[in-house]
């Protein structure tokens, strides 16, 4: 039962991380490449600390491990470039209908590639959850305009789906802590080589400093708990559990912020919760 906490923790920290990144872009006008670089420095430092605390054994070098890390670094680099660029420009709510495609693409790849992921009930449950979100949450008037920012979001969707499946494969070889440490270290190096990162005094103003420090901490927690969830609960179950985010948001709004919740949000939350619980029990 404790293992189910990993994806639930990941839900909370992902929303916090996205929100703080967007606030930083809006308030300080920080450049995307600078934001990625600073956030990844924070992540890398946390990863080193976590690695030392856990003292994970470094696996023996092999061609398989080398190729896997190279592929993760390459895809992660482009995934983060896509993500931080559209977060800096596009309204977060505007991207939700598109990024919701990532889970089903991820699940379908996992179903094809990994025998352990070939349970049709998870594919069906993920499709039902997406359908509930589209019916109850997304504006009926939503239209896709194929501009540069939409293409960046689609790029993020594809790279995220592929990357999640590579993580599943890689976690059979290497621990979540080491995988995260290698990933962040090499992305920092690639950013320095290819993205012309020039840190300014403005990036270290009190407001900017607090925001990217918090963002880096939230991103680290989200990434590590997600990797643990993929390793322990498998990929498609992790994806399904991550669909509980509307339930968490509405519970937080109702009990903590004391806001009134629309009936459609209550209905959709219970429907998604029912789909998740029903799929796990069956």
101 vs 262, more confident: 101
Strand, helix or coil at 152? helix
pLDDT in tens, 210-242: 888 888 898 899 999 999 999 999 899 999 998
Taking a C-beta distance cutoff of 8 angstroms, is the pair 164, 72 a contact? no
Side-chain half-sphere exposure of 102, counting CA atoms within 13 A: 24
pLDDT score recorded for residue 258: 67
pLDDT in tens, 20-47: 777 777 777 787 778 888 889 999 999 8
CB atoms within 10 A of CB 244: 20
d(CA 91, CA 208): 20
Q: What is the mean pLDDT of residues 244-272?
A: 75
CA-to-CA dists, residue 73 to 15, 157, 167, 180, angstroms: 24, 17, 11, 10
pTM equals 0.86
Q: What's the pLDDT band for 52 if we cut at 50, 70, 90?
A: confident
Tokens at 78, concatenated:
């482009």
pLDDT in tens, 131-166: 998 888 765 555 666 667 778 888 989 999 999 999
pLDDT score recorded for residue 83: 79
Tokens at 66, concatenated:
């080398």
pLDDT score recorded for residue 237: 93
| Whether residue 115 has pLDDT greater than 80 | yes
pLDDT score recorded for residue 140: 56
Q: What share of the chain is helix, strand, coil (3-state, %, to 5)?
A: 80, 0, 20
pLDDT score recorded for residue 127: 95
d(CA 274, CA 191): 43
**What angle (nearest 5°) sits at the alpha carbon of residue 184, between those of residues 180 and 186?**
120
Sign for the pseudo-dihedral over CA of 214, 218, 221, 223: negative
pLDDT score recorded for residue 203: 80
Nearest Cα residue to 178 out of 83, 4, 61, 15: 61
Q: Which residues contact 255 (CB under 8 A, 6 or more apart)?
A: none
CA-to-CA dists, residue 262 to 236, 252, 267, angstroms: 30, 14, 9
């Amino acid at each position: 039962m404790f293992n189910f906490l990993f994806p639930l923790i990941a839900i909370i920290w992902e929303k916090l991380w996205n929100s703080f990144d967007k606030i930083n872009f809006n308030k300080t006008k920080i450049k995307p490449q600078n934001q990625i670089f600073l956030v990844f420095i924070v992540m890398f430092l946390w990863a080193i600390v976590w690695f030392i605390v856990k003292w994970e054994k470094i696996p023996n070098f092999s061609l398989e491990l080398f190729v896997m890390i190279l592929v993760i670094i390459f895809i992660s680099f482009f995934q983060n470039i896509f993500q931080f660029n559209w977060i800096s420009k596009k309204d977060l709510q505007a991207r939700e209908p598109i990024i919701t495609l990532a889970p089903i693409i991820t699940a379908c790849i996992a179903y094809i590639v990994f025998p352990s992921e070939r349970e049709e009930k998870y594919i069906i449950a993920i499709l039902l959850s997406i359908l509930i979100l589209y019916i109850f949450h997304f504006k009926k008037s939503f239209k896709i305009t194929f501009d540069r920012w939409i293409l960046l979001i689609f790029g993020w969707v594809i790279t995220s789906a592929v990357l999640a499946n590579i993580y599943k494969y890689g976690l059979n070889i290497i621990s979540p802590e080491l995988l995260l440490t290698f990933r962040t270290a090499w992305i920092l190096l690639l950013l320095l080589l290819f993205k012309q990162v020039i840190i300014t005094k403005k990036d270290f103003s009190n407001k900017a400093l607090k925001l990217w420090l918090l963002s880096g901490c939230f991103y680290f927690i989200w990434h590590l708990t997600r990797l643990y969830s993929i390793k322990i609960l498998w990929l498609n179950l992790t994806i399904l559990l991550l669909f509980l985010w509307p339930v968490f948001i509405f519970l937080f709004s109702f009990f903590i912020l004391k806001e009134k919740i629309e009936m459609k949000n209550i209905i959709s939350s219970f429907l998604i919760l029912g789909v998740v619980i029903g799929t796990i029990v069956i």
